[in-house]
Structures are given as C-alpha cells and as structure tokens.
Structure 1
C-alpha cells in the first residue's frame, strides 16, 4: 500500500490520537481451574465464574492466561501468516474471495464506510459451511462457503486447521463460564453450535502506514458474533472504548484477548454489552493478528433467552435470523454504501 488515499481517511471524530491514554487495563483471567487436568475445587470454579461475569459486565473485553492452547500452534500460525502476506499482491489475489464465496484473501474491506488499512485471509472453521445465498428475507436458497488453498506456504491449510480446533475448544469453555455467570446451565449455549456452526478464522495483516493519524487498521465497530478469541504478535494496536476513552490493550505474552459479540448481548438481554473497539496502525512496524470468531448455525434465531426475561426485565430485542444477518454483513463490507450496515440496534424494541 502506498500513500493514504481518500478512501482510507477517517472522519475527524474517528481519527486516532498518537498519544496512548494511560488507564486501567482490561481484566486478566487465569483459566487454570478449567484447563488443568487435575480436578479443581468448587470454590476455584465459582471464583472464576465471578471474574468472568465482572469482566463481561464492566468491559466486555478480557485477557486469558493458562488457557490450554499449545504455544507452538500460535507460533506456527504466525510464521505461516507472515509467509502468506509476504507474497506479491498478484499471488495473494489468486485466492481472493468472490461474490459467491466470501472466504479467501482481500484488501478492500470497509468499516463504517471507510476502507481499513489492512489485508485479510478468511477461512470457515467447518469446511464447507452452509449459508444463505442472499440476505434477502424471502429468498430461501442456500450455498456453501469453502476454504481457499494457497500454494504458498504449502502447509497453511493444515496449520490453520490445527489452530482452529484448539481455539474452538477454548471458545466453548469460555461460553460455559459466561453461561454460568448469567445464572444459566453451563451447556446452555451448546445447542446453537453443535450442528452447522458458521464460525470463522481470520489472518489479519496491518502494513506500516505513512499517515497513522488519518487511517485505521479497522474502524470503530462491534463484533457481530458470539465471542472473539484473538491472538496477535508483539505489536500493540487494538483499542477498546471504555467510559468514553479509547484504551490501548497491553499485551501479555501467550495470552488471548477475548471480547463479547452482539449475539451474547442479545442472548443476555443487555446484561452484557458487545464493546466497541478499533485497531490503530503505525508508520514503523507492521502488525499481525489472528481472531477466531465463534458464530452459531446459520438457521439460528437470535433472541433474548427465555430464562433471562420476566415482567421486570422484558425482551429488549426482536428475533433475527443469524444466517441472513451474517451474509448481509459480508456482502456490504467491501464497498462504500449509502446507508450503514445492518446492526442489532435495528432489532431493538423501542
């Protein structure tokens, strides 16, 4: 990428400040009570559930340590990612996404109508993944998203597969803890993911930027899924909006950064909120990150859980079909639009 073109320039209120706010850090949670082979005491699990609940309520973001994902898998993903993105644009575009299959490489994603300063390579966790062909409400046709297989590096596909398997296990453990923190059965969310989940894994590459005060790696947004599990290299850049300020997340080696998505906000009937976040870039160092997005099956009807609704706390959202919502978002992330993307606020009951 060369100089900053107009398509990348953020509106004035969204432009990042180059000074980092020194503020409290997001919670750090030790998952050893649920990841070690030894049986943990009930009190340890109870304490962990309280920590998760507090982090979800206060931040919607937290870091986890002693998570059980082998370090060598993360190292292999980073090596493979660097190898893939080091290729020429022409080589990378041989595995580009297209209108029918949203998986693969692209470098023109937009967030809130502004182009992101990044390149990505997307994969479905379950290959192939069944999704609606179009976002149109009365069109019931389905299609499959399938993974692209770059020739270089030759082991990229197998490396991603091994990494995703372990990250998915971690996601399900976290969803159990989140369920318990809401007073639900540990396996309450399982039914939405056991069959035909639509989860995605992404390789992100943020090149150096000549004008980091004008552009963003990813503009301010909230994640649309249930949960995001993020690993990254040593270059900081992820920021979360907390009490009106953008807080830079400080890295802990071999930790994962976790954030709630819109689906948990809806399921919890606003007990927990999906946090707004963004990615800043810099002029000196490129940055790599590796998010796993936990998404339910395409036929899932997303709505507040019955156990969390009562006369004092009525349902705050109308139901929406997850597959249609997902395909609509993917179909509108690649060009500037007259209106903003569909959001869960459109399903909010006034």
Structure 2
C-alpha cells in the first residue's frame, strides 16, 4: 500500500482522528524499508500521487518544499551550535532524507468535546515546521502540571517542534513536546506541517560529543528507517505491532 496522497484513516493512540490529510514526499520517490521486521532487507518506494486539480499544486508544493528544507537546515545548524558542536554536525544525516509535507483539513465537528482533530502524540522525526490558519486548535502539554495549553496562532509565522530524534541526539538537552489538536464546532481548520526526517539508513543515538562517564547515553541506537516504517504502517494497517516510541530504546 502506498500511503501517499489523500486519506482520512490516521490513528493516534488508538483513537480515530477527526481530520483528512494529503501526504506528499519531499523527495519523490522516497525509499524506506519494506516492513518493521529487523531482518528484512527489502525496500519500498513512497511515490507522490498528484491530483488533476488544482493543476498548479505540484509546482507550488515543490517550491515550498525546497524553501522549508532550506529553513530546516538552518534550524538544525542553530540547534547544533546551541549544543556546542559544529554547525554542520547534523547535516550529514539528511543527504537522502525521508521528509514529507502533510496538508491537514479539520472539518467542523458537531460534538467537539467528544473528538480530537489529532490525539496526543510526539513527533518522531527531527523537526516539524508548522504553518496554520487563524482558527487555532493546537495544544501542548505543560510538563510542570500536565495541563493542555492552547498555542495561539501568530499571523505569518511558523511553529517549530523539536522531534524525538533531536531529543535523542541531544541526550535530552532538548525534549520533544507532547501535543494534540482540538476541533471547532463552527469553523474548519487547515494546517501544513513539514516533517524533517533523516535518511532511512541513519542509526539514531546520542551524539558522542555530548556523552561522557558523568553523562552516559540515555538511549540505545535505533534505525530511523525501520522506526519510520513501523509508525507509518501502524497508522494505515491493523498490525500486531506496537506504534513504536523512543521510550522503547531508553536505557
């Protein structure tokens, strides 16, 4: 099954999300492992499926993806410098990256108190750069007391989430934020997240420069491609596999 294109069947924390999406790979095609099985050496391709209308979508998407990729590399450079490592320390992990852009549509919901646009979760990749309209609905979980806090939309600005991979690379100097999206009873909502993910063969583990005897690695190494394939497949098929989390690799 090629999950690129339109779907409305994504699951989060075993809850059906109140939304429909259109997924597009930044690199077309994108090559990922064929399954979650650790010994499976086969790969599969995610190929974009372009709609006939609007005809200008492909050109607009490709231009947008190029600019967001450039922005994400700049953000990674700033994160690297903040960690005390060279600015280009992380760039080598993104030569054949498996990033994607998702067009989200959250229809009005007649019972908003009983539904979520997307359930609580953390982003598994490196960075998420989010563009959204003025409707709002994004909420983050405050670590101090566990309360959900609404993120007010700022015109002409992006929201940037640090993902699980940066949490692992930084050995928890950065932490991925848990978030969700609530729905609106009267207005539809649109958002466009750019998920910046490394190459599928990358082994994710704390950077050697950030670990020492006094600060040992907090995570075992894991293969990003297998991680990504398992997460994607568990969203679109009923599998006897858990929706894998970085907590499974915690030391």
Moved over 2 A (4+): 334-340
Structure 1 residue 197 displacement after superposition = 0.6
Note the C-alpha offset of 1:337. 6.4
Deviations 1:159-191 (A, max 9, x none): 111111111111111111111111111111100
Within 2, Cα distance between the matches of 1:337 and 1:135?
A: 10
| Partner SS state of residue 236, structure 2 | coil
SS at match of 1:333: helix
* Contact 1:113/1:340, CA 8 A, preserved across alignment: no
Instruction: Give, in whole Å, the separation in 2 of the partners of 1:127 and 1:158.
Output: 13
> Please, what TM-score do these two structures have when normalized by structure 2?
0.97
SS, match of residue 332 in structure 1: helix
Q: Any idea what the Cα deviations from partners look like across 1:113-167, whole Å, max 9, x if unmatched?
A: 0000000000110111111111110010012111111011111111111111111
State the Cα RMSD in Å: 1.1
Confirm whether residue 345 of structure 1 aligns to residue 247 of structure 2: yes
Aligned mate of 2:71, from 170, 173, 177: 170
Higher strand fraction: Structure 1 or Structure 2? 2
> Would the aligned equivalents of 2:164 and 2:246 in 1 still touch at CA under 8 Å?
yes
Measured in 2, the distance between the counterparts of 1:149 and 1:167 equals 20
Larger Rg: 1
Q: Paired residue for 1:292, among 194, 199, 202? A: 194
Shift of 1:339: 6.5
Does the CA-based 8 Å contact 1:230-1:256 persist in structure 2?
Answer: yes
Q: Find 2:110's aligned residue among 203, 210, 230.
A: 210
| Structure with the higher helix share, 1 or 2 | 1
- Partner of residue 110, structure 1: 11
Structure 1: 5+ residue stretches without partners = 1-98
Shift of 1:295: 0.2
TM-score by length of 1: 0.70
Distance 1:241 1:134 in 2: 32
Corresponding residue SS for 2:161: strand
Are 1:247 and 2:163 an aligned pair?
A: no
The whole-number CA distance in structure 1 between the counterparts of 2:154 and 2:38 is 44
Shift of 1:305: 0.4
> Offset of 1:102 from its aligned partner?
2.2
TM-superposed deviation, 1:326: 0.3
* Aligned with residue 124 of structure 2, among 216, 224, 233: 224
Report if aligned partners of 2:101, 2:192 keep a CA contact under 8 Å in 1. Answer: yes
Question: Which residue pairs with 1:321 in the alignment?
Answer: 223
Query: Is the contact between residue 113 and residue 337 of structure 1 (CA under 8 Å) also seen in structure 2?
Result: no
